[in-house]
Amino acid sequence: MAREVEKKAVFDTDSAKEVVKELRASFVAGKTKSYEWRVAQLKALLKMTEENEPQIAAALRDDLSKPELESYIYEIAMLKSSCRLALKEMKRWIMPERAKTSLTTFPSSAEIVSEPLGVVLVISAWNYPFLLSLDPVVGAIAAGNAVVLKPSEIAPATASLLAKLVANYLDSSCIKVVEGAVSETSALLEQKWDKIFYTGNGRVARIVMAAAAKHLTPVVLELGGKSPVIVDSGINLQVATRRIIAGKWGCNNGQACISPDYIITTKDYAPKLLDSFKRELEQFYGKNPLESKDLSRIVNSNHFARLSKLLDEDKVSGKIVHGGERDKNNLKIAPTILLDVPLDSLIMNEEIFGPLLPIIMVDKVEDSFDVINSSGTKPLAAYLFTNKEKLKEKFVATVSAGGLVVNDTTVHLAEHTLPFGGVGDSGMGAYHGKFSFDAFSHKKAVLYRGFACDAFVRYPPYTRRKLRLLQALLGGSLLSIIRALLGWS
């Protein structure tokens, strides 16, 4: 008789409850709070990444056909950098921060203590399934928390590898990976967490936030949006074009939260920009980009159909000026540029998250700000290419976004000294570097006092003399304080 296939255990609400119970017991016992434990786990995470680079790259190739260079730069190397930074700086991050005190509490001293929140949930995304899973975990560990990681089921090879590696390298009594899809995520969201960190889209973010609200659980939401690129004239066009291409098609073939979503330029400059795109795209990906090994595929058939719908809309289908080729069997879409796309089209009213790039034309470059602000939403990133200082100043003052970059795209992601996060529809909260540590910490205020100088004015009976003395202490001059002490009117 053939052996029966072993059934995988069902992960339901009771299972989620047991996971949280185990991790909370470890946290309450103080296991995650010691500096030594945090260092040991971060070193183990770094070792796990270094020893398994080929397996990680292979999983990313299985899930997204991600080029090995992209896998290394944007996922493996960035995760290792986060681990090394936390190991280097964590002792300083943990140290209490001295705070000034006032005459109100004199004599006193004060400090702000960073304490771990407790048991936290990290729900990750599929587009950078290794980095976006473990980068928040670095911050959670550095801050001293117990962690459950829920990787995306849309990147199953990476999710499976993460579950295996984390169990083998890290402390499983404090750090766990839960695989699965909607039902498993729903079971996890029913539990009480001390923080939820979610990376993904706005629709699911609302579900996460509603679930968190039942327990008054704070959240970090790393979402997306339509990240615009303003291109001015009089710039180094070749460099600008290459940097836009690197941020658009060189980042997961447009499947990135900070990928350029659309371009705004003047009617006069659009032909030059378009010609430059055509030249550079052919140089990077050849005459038949569908055969290029340097472009990731679309993650699955649902997303391929969604992107095809954007291209096939009547308002848009005649606007393709470069690319547009599709291979449904291999889930490939060539780098595609569309010119003069109507602002009321589908492609201009939802995040593209793929290799399609519309170009919007305006009369003068300053009109770009009106186009961006008229959308009513705030993007995760916004980009400007210009040599004009006044235009840079207006860009920073006028455009509200999670982050801004002048004369490049997406590279702010690599700077650990900058917070990475959205605003409004593009998310809330931030991480990277110390911001990751802070995201998973509570800033506890501590005031120290002795028994000397006990102010009699704070105690009953409340006399007019005491009132005048308090008024003098809190807002008067030295003379008025003396007059109040002596009882002079």
Does the predicted TM-score (pTM) go above 0.85? yes
Could you tell me the two tokens for 69?
């260079």
Euclidean distance between CA atoms 244 and 178, whole angstroms: 36
pLDDT band at 457 (very low <50, low <70, confident <90, very high): confident
From the DSSP assignment, how many helices (H) and strands (E) are in the chain? 17, 18
From residue 333, alpha-carbon distances to 76, 195, 229, 290 in Å are 26, 38, 22, 7
Euclidean distance between CA atoms 217 and 193, whole angstroms: 6
Looking up tokens 């890290």 gives 170
CB 316, CB 348: distance < 8 Å: no
Nearest to 300 by CA among 271, 346, 333, 334: 333
pLDDT band at 380 (very low <50, low <70, confident <90, very high): very high
CB 260, CB 325: distance < 8 Å: no
Average pLDDT over residues 229-240: 98
What 8-state DSSP symbol labels residue 488? -
Q: DSSP secondary structure string, 398-439?
A: H---SEEEESSSSGGGG-TTS-B---GGGEE--BSTHHHHHH
More confident residue, 261 or 482: 261
CB 92, CB 149: distance < 8 Å: no
CATH 3.40.50.300 corresponds to the domain 13-223+433-443: no
Euclidean distance between CA atoms 443 and 41, whole angstroms: 23
Q: What is the pLDDT of residue 2?
A: 43
Q: Is the pLDDT of residue 301 over 60?
A: yes
Which pLDDT tens digit goes with each residue over 11-31?
999 999 999 999 999 999 999
Average pLDDT over residues 321-333: 97
Query: Which residues, 6+ apart, have CB-to-CB distance to 34 below 8 Å?
Result: 144
Q: What is the pLDDT of residue 287?
A: 95
Average pLDDT over residues 292-299: 96
Q: Which residues are catalytic?
A: 222, 257
Write out 241-254 in H/E/C secondary structure: HHHHHHHHCCCHHH
Average pLDDT over residues 153-177: 98
Beta bridge partners of 175: 147
Which pLDDT tens digit goes with each residue over 108-163?
999 999 999 999 999 999 999 999 999 999 999 999 999 999 999 999 999 999 99
Domain boundaries, the chain: 13-223+433-443, 228-421, 456-489
pLDDT band at 263 (very low <50, low <70, confident <90, very high): very high
CB 26, CB 32: distance < 8 Å: yes
Q: Is the pLDDT of residue 482 over 80?
A: no
Q: What is the pLDDT of residue 485?
A: 57
Q: Is the pLDDT of residue 33 over 50?
A: yes
Q: What is the pLDDT of residue 14?
A: 96
What 8-state DSSP symbol labels residue 66? -
3-state secondary structure of 344: coil
More confident residue, 6 or 208: 208
Could you tell me the two tokens for 228?
């615009």
Q: What is the pLDDT of residue 1?
A: 39
Q: Is the pLDDT of residue 449 over 80?
A: yes
CATH topology of domain 228-421: Aldehyde Dehydrogenase; Chain A, domain 2 (3.40.309)
Euclidean distance between CA atoms 105 and 201, whole angstroms: 47
CB 389, CB 369: distance < 8 Å: no
Q: Is the pLDDT of residue 3 over 80?
A: no
Q: Is the pLDDT of residue 426 over 90?
A: yes
Q: DSSP secondary structure string, 172-211?
A: TTTEEE---SHHHHHHHHTS--SEEEEES-HHHHHHHHHH
More confident residue, 455 or 411: 411
Q: Is the pLDDT of residue 375 over 90?
A: no
* Cα 149–chain centre separation: 15
CB 446, CB 96: distance < 8 Å: yes
Are the folds of 13-223+433-443 and 228-421 the same? no
The beta strands (E) that lie in 286-325 are given as 320-322
Q: What is the pLDDT of residue 50?
A: 98
Query: Which residues, 6+ apart, have CB-to-CB distance to 142 below 8 Å?
Result: 38, 42, 86, 90, 93, 436, 437, 440
Average confidence score pLDDT of the chain: 94
Q: Is the pLDDT of residue 465 over 50?
A: yes
